[in-house]
Structure 1
Amino acid sequence: MKYEPTQPGNPHRFTINQHVFPKASIQRFAGMDGSVEVFSIPHQKVMRLKPNNPIFCAQRVWDQRTEAVIGKQIEDRFQTLADAIEWGRVTKIGIWEKRVVEEFFSLWRTRQRFRNEGLDDVTLNGVTSETLTKAEQEVLESKHTLYASDGVMKGRFLAGIHVIGYQDNFIQANESMQWGIVRSPVHHFLVPDSFEDMMIVPVSPRVAIVADMPDCVLTDDEVAVINQTAITRSTNFYFARQLAKASIIRRSVVSPIGNILRRP
C-alpha cells in the first residue's frame, strides 16, 4: 500500500515505518545476534531479521499523534507489565493488568487491520477548508492537530479515533473475561503478525498471556496448539527466536487451549 512521502529529509521526524507489533516486544524474542527467525508466507522461506525490519511495519498508515502519543502510551504500559512478568514481580493478571493487556491486544489487532485495509480519506461535505501546502500540513501533524485541506481529511488522521473506539468496545465486550500467564517448560512460542480473534499475547519465547486460561505451565501439546493457532491466523509471516524450537501440532491433540473464546 502506497504511503504519503514527507518533505525531503523528513524535517519533522515523522515515523515512516510504524510497528504493528512493537519493536520492544519483538526484541524480547531476539537471539544473541539481535535477530528473530521469520517465516515469510508469500515467499515460503525463513529469514533472520532485526526487529526494525520493514516486514514488521506499516508505512505511515496512521498519523503521528496515534503513533507517538496514543500508541506509545499503550505500548509503554504493556512493556512495563511484560518486564514485571518476565522477572517474576507479577504472577497474576489482576484488574489493572487486565486493562493493560486488553488495551495492548486491541491496539495490536487494530494496527494490523490498518495495515491490511488502510484508512480511506474522508470528504467533508458542506464543510469548507483552506488549501494547505505540504509544509503547512506537516507542521499541523507534528503538533498532533487534525486538519482538512480542500475539504478532505486524510484517513490516517482518523486512526486515533478508531484505536480508542475499538479498544472501548473490546474492553466492554470482555468485561467478565480473565487472562492467565502461561509458560512453556521447553518449547518456544510463535508470534503471528496478528492472532486476529484469538486472545493470545506472546510475551517472550516461553511466556504468553492467554484469555480464559489459568496461570499454569503448559504441556508440550498445549504449546503446540497455541503455535498452530499462530500459524493459522498469520497473514504474511510468523516468527520466533528459533522456529525449530517452536512445537506445532503433528497429530490429533485434545487440549483446553482449543476452548479459547473468540472475541469481537
Structure 2
Amino acid sequence: MARYERTQPGNPHQLTIRQHLLPSRTISRFCGRDGLVHMRLSERAVELRLRPDNHLFCTMRSWDQRAESGFGKAIEDGYQVIADRLVSRSLTSLAADMHGAITEMYLLWRYRCLRARDPLPDLAINGVTGNPDLDLDAQEQLEKSRVMFIKPDGTLPGRVVAGMMLQSAIDSDWESGAHAMRWGVFSSGELEFLVPDAFIDQPILPVAPGICLAAGASDAELTLEEVARVNREAVRAASKYWFVHDVVRCPVMRATAP
C-alpha cells in the first residue's frame, strides 16, 4: 500500500483516513447473515470472507476531506436514495430525474479507483512561500473545514490536488456528454451479480445481489446466460479483486447453473 500522510496521534479532528472506493453502504448490501461478503483476490486466487470496512475495500487518504465528506458524500447520498428504493422494490424503473444521480455515482467510483491506483505526491507551487506557523494541527483544522492550504514547505498536499482532480474529471465528463447517459435496471431473479473492484471502462453499477444498473440498456430480467455474461465482464474488469453475496448463485461460465 502506498505511503500516506498520517494525522496527529489519535486523529483529533476525525479526518477520514480509510476511504472507501465503493460506498460501504453498497458493499453491505452484498453481505451474508454473518455480515461478511465473499471476496476473491484476483492475482493469488485466494477466497476470503470480509466485513465492508476491511482495508481491501479502501485507499488510505488518497483525496482530501472536501472530496470525501463534501461533494463525494453528496453524490453518494443522492444515489443511495435511489438504490434503497430499487432494493425494496418500491422502484423497478427509473424516473427521468434519477439518471443523473446514478451517472455521478458511477463516475465518482470510477475516478476514485483511478486515483487510488496512482496517488499524487505533494505539489510544489512556484513563487509561493508557505506559512511556517501553519503546524499540523492548523492544517488538519483547515482540511476538516474543507479549506485548501499551502504547507510550510510551499507545497500543496497531493490529496488536495487529487480532490480537485476528482471533481474536475467528473465535471468534464458531465459536460462532454455524461449528463445524457440513461440507465437500465437489470434484475436476476434468484441469480446474483458479482462486483469487481472497479468497472473502469464499462458503465455498469451493481446495486445489490439481484440488481445491477447498466447505461444504454433497457430494463430487463436477465436470463442465466445474460447474468453470466455480465459477471464475466465483471471478472475481466477486476484488477485486484471481486466480491459477491453468494458465490453459488453467481454464474460466470456459460451454461453454469446457480
Which bracket does the TM-score occupy, shorter chain normalised? over 0.9
1:36 and 1:48 mapped to 2: Cα distance? Answer: 6
TM superposition shift of 1:215? 0.6
1:67-100 CA deviation, whole Å, 9 max, x = no partner? Answer: 1111111111111110111222322223321111
1:165 and 1:93 mapped to 2: Cα distance? Answer: 27
* Correspondence 1:164 to 2:164: no
1:42 and 1:226 mapped to 2: Cα distance? Answer: 21
1:224 and 1:192 mapped to 2: Cα distance? Answer: 14
Of 150, 153, 157, the residue aligned with 1:154 is: 157
Corresponding residue of 2:58 = 57
1:211 and 1:39 mapped to 2: Cα distance? Answer: 26
Question: What is the letter of the counterpart of residue 136 of structure 1?
Answer: A
Gaps of 5+ in 1: 252-264
* Correspondence 1:134 to 2:140: no
Partner SS for 1:224: helix
Gaps of 5+ in 2: none
TM superposition shift of 1:145? 0.9
1:83 and 1:241 mapped to 2: Cα distance? Answer: 17
Partner SS for 2:56: helix
Q: What is the TM-score normalised by the length of structure 1?
A: 0.91
1:13 and 1:43 mapped to 2: Cα distance? Answer: 35
Corresponding residue of 2:189 = 185
2:179 and 2:20 mapped to 1: Cα distance? Answer: 28
Residue range with higher mean Cα deviation, 18-27 or 140-149: 140-149
Taking every aligned residue pair, what percent have the same amino acid on both sides?
36
* Correspondence 1:211 to 2:227: no
**Is the CA contact 1:70–1:160 (under 8 Å) kept in the aligned structure 2?**
no
Corresponding residue of 2:33 = 32
TM superposition shift of 1:126? 1.4
Corresponding residue of 2:248 = 244
Corresponding residue of 1:228 = 232
**Is the CA contact 1:61–1:156 (under 8 Å) kept in the aligned structure 2?**
yes
RMSD, matched Cα: 1.4
Partner SS for 1:126: coil
1:100-122 CA deviation, whole Å, 9 max, x = no partner? Answer: 10110000011101110112321
